[in-house]
């Protein structure tokens, strides 16, 4: 017998921007589908209209696109499938596996308060459901009348009493829970919309989902979902609950606040909510690096190679290698991955990314591409390519204090004058310039160290940057001379 073709889904609720944890869930689903030759679908779980945030759905789709995680079909939206859920809840109602509950908010609040006053918790289930305001204890006509009179009601799941619910999870193994501890969850709300649990199970079944891969926070729902499958007589999919992603210090779930505190984003791209927040894209992280790094949060391939492209990851991924222990988010590690991916990327492509992020860039494109090639080995973000090559396009506006201390010494002025006269002499060739300056100044009795430092500070503004000769070859002798003249007038 052949196995059913793998079909997985990412099912975000549009209640805000897609968090890095959500990207990881989408990625693992996508990788699993691709590794197994199956399908990856996206389903927007938007039945909770009160919590919906405008723009979130679009943001989620755009973020996935940026990450290269593409669905095999157009996303489906639960809010457009109300009739389907209603048909399905009728099946459960008919079989007595669900019931109408007319209890008002006030009645339920009273019941809750009453229990709380005794230090107990109110649970709507088999213990009390036969004495509450629902179709299990009201007679049929009365129920019909209430519905006709448009009295508010919800539909609840009649959770079986005293049965052992066996659950199975690829990451965490098997476990079981006594159903009498569970409550009779609402399946359809008073506004006629299904709850997350109900729509989620119905859709997973109707979409032919074979594996549900989602965050650990949904583990407590697994027993209810398993019971719903049983109630319908459906075979339940396989489950894999992914471990939590924690803040860098290992304390608590990775949060936007912790990102803000530690200076890193938690969203893939810019979120234009009430307050605009930058994403990884805007700070210069490449999608390939983000995907490579987050693939390591809870999973590790057999092989030791760390830098992997999305298509390599597709070939390696396996759910069996997902671990149950939480992973700490480490921004420095992400930057390291980004650095490695920058080295692997063609300069043309880096130029394209840079131009996209810096729309106001009016540098000569050919020169910018050369500059990228010169500085990329020092860059851990794409934006740094920009910062690191700034001095290749313009002389320093100011000079770094510490660096100045090293060059404002006796002889400094003479070194500078030698630099200027060599740069201005027509016979001078840019490619040999640094060696010539060095030789000429050494002949005058200055140390090689002082000469090189002076030239660097004059050209760059500080004691950092790429090889000096490369700088001079790039900017040309005319520019080198004017930078040196500027320094002479400002510093000596």
| Candidate segments 10-18, 113-121, 271-279, 417-425, binder of ligand GLU by CB under 6 A | 10-18
What is the smallest separation between the CB atom of 13 and ligand GLU, expressed in angstroms?
Answer: 4
Start-to-end Cα distance in the chain: 87
Q: Tokens 């924690």 sit at which residue?
A: 246
What is the C-alpha separation between 13 and 75, in angstroms, rounded? 12
What is the C-alpha separation between 199 and 11, in angstroms, rounded? 11
Does residue 185 bind ligand GLU (CB under 6 A)? no
Does residue 29 bind ligand GLU (CB under 6 A)? no
Tokens matching residue 128: 């009390």
Does residue 200 bind ligand GLU (CB under 6 A)? yes
Q: Applying CB under 6 A, which of residues 13, 47, 292, 389 lies at the interface with ligand GLU?
A: 13
Does residue 222 bind ligand GLU (CB under 6 A)? no
Does residue 12 bind ligand GLU (CB under 6 A)? yes
For the residues of 137-154, what is the DSSP string, one character each?
TS-HHHHHHHHHTT---E
Catalytic residue among 65, 82, 253, 256: 256
Q: Is 256 a catalytic residue?
A: yes
Does residue 216 bind ligand GLU (CB under 6 A)? no
Residue 13 or 135: which CB sits closer to ligand GLU? 13
Contacting ligand GLU within 36-65 (CB under 6 A): 45
How distant, in Å, are the alpha carbons of 115, 161, 180, 182, 467 from that of 127? 13, 9, 9, 11, 79
Tell how strand 276-277 and strand 327-328 pair up.
Answer: unpaired
Residue 45 or 288: which CB sits closer to ligand GLU? 45
- Please state the separation of Cα 142 from the chain's center in Å: 52
Neighbours of 38 (CB within 10 A): 18
Q: Applying CB under 6 A, which of residues 7, 11, 67, 374 lies at the interface with ligand GLU?
A: 11
Instruction: Tell me if 82 sits within 8 A of 193, measured CB to CB.
Output: yes
What is the smallest separation between the CB atom of 271 and ligand GLU, expressed in angstroms?
Answer: 17
Tokens matching residue 241: 């609950």
Does residue 218 bind ligand GLU (CB under 6 A)? yes
Residue 88 or 214: which CB sits closer to ligand GLU? 214
Binding-residue total with ligand GLU (CB under 6 A): 8
Q: What are phi and psi of 30, to 5 degrees?
A: -60, -50
Question: Coil, strand or helix: which one is 59?
Answer: helix
Tell me the β-bridge partners of 8. Answer: 40, 211
Q: How many CA atoms lie within 13 A of 353 on its CB side?
A: 23
Q: Applying CB under 6 A, which of residues 39, 88, 185, 214 lies at the interface with ligand GLU?
A: 214
Residue 11 or 459: which CB sits closer to ligand GLU? 11
* Chain residues that interact with ligand GLU, rule: CB under 6 A: 11-13, 45, 196, 200, 214, 218
- Residues noted as catalytic: 256
């Amino acid at each position: 017998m052949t196995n059913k073709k793998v079909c997985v889904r990412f099912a975000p609720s549009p209640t805000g921007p897609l968090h890095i944890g959500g990207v990881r869930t989408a990625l693992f689903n996508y990788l699993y589908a691709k590794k197994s030759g199956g399908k990856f679908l996206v389903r927007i779980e938007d039945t909770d209209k009160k919590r919906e945030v405008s723009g979130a759905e679009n943001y989620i789709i755009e973020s996935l696109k940026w990450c290269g995680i593409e669905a095999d079909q157009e996303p489906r939206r639960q809010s457009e499938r109300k009739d389907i859920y209603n048909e399905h809840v009728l099946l459960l109602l008919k079989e007595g596996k669900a019931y109408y509950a007319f209890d008002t908010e006030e009645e339920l609040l009273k019941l809750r308060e009453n229990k709380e006053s005794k230090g107990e918790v109110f649970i709507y289930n088999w213990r009390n459901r036969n004495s509450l305001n629902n179709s299990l204890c009201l007679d049929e006509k009365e129920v019909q009348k209430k519905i006709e009179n448009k009295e508010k009601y919800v539909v609840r799941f009649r959770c079986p009493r005293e049965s052992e619910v066996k659950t199975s999870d690829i990451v965490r193994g098997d476990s079981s829970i006594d159903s009498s501890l569970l409550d009779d969850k609402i399946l359809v709300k008073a506004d006629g919309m299904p709850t997350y649990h109900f729509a989620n199970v119905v859709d997973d079944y109707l979409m032919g989902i074979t594996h549900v891969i989602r965050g650990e926070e949904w583990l407590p729902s697994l027993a209810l979902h398993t019971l719903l499958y049983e109630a319908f007589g459906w075979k339940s999919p396989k489950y894999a609950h992914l471990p939590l992603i924690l803040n860098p210090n290992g304390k608590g779930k990775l949060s936007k606040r912790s990102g803000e505190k530690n200076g890193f984003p938690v969203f893939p791209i810019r979120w234009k909510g009430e307050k605009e927040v930058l994403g990884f894209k805007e700070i210069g992280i490449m999608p390939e690096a983000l995907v490579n790094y987050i693939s390591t949060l809870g999973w590790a391939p057999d092989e030791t190679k760390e830098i992997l492209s999305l298509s390599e990851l597709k070939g390696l991924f396996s759910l069996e290698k997902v671990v149950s222990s939480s992973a700490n988010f480490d921004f420095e590690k992400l930057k390291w991955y980004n650095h490695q991916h920058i080295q692997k990327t063609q300069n043309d492509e880096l130029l394209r990314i840079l131009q996209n992020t810096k729309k106001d860039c009016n540098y000569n494109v050919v020169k910018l591409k050369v500059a990228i090639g010169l500085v990329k080995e020092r860059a851990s973000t794409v934006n740094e390519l920009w910062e690191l090559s700034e001095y290749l396009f313009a002389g320093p506006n100011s000079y770094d204090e510490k660096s100045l201390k090293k060059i404002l010494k006796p002889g400094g002025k003479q070194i500078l004058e030698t630099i200027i006269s060599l740069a201005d002499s027509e016979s001078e060739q840019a490619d040999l310039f640094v060696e010539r300056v060095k030789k000429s100044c050494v002949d005058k009795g200055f140390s090689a160290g002082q000469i090189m430092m002076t030239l660097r500070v004059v050209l760059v503004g500080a004691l950092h940057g790429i090889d000096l000769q490369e700088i001079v070859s790039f900017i040309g002798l005319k520019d080198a001379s004017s930078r040196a003249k500027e320094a002479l007038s400002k510093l000596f």
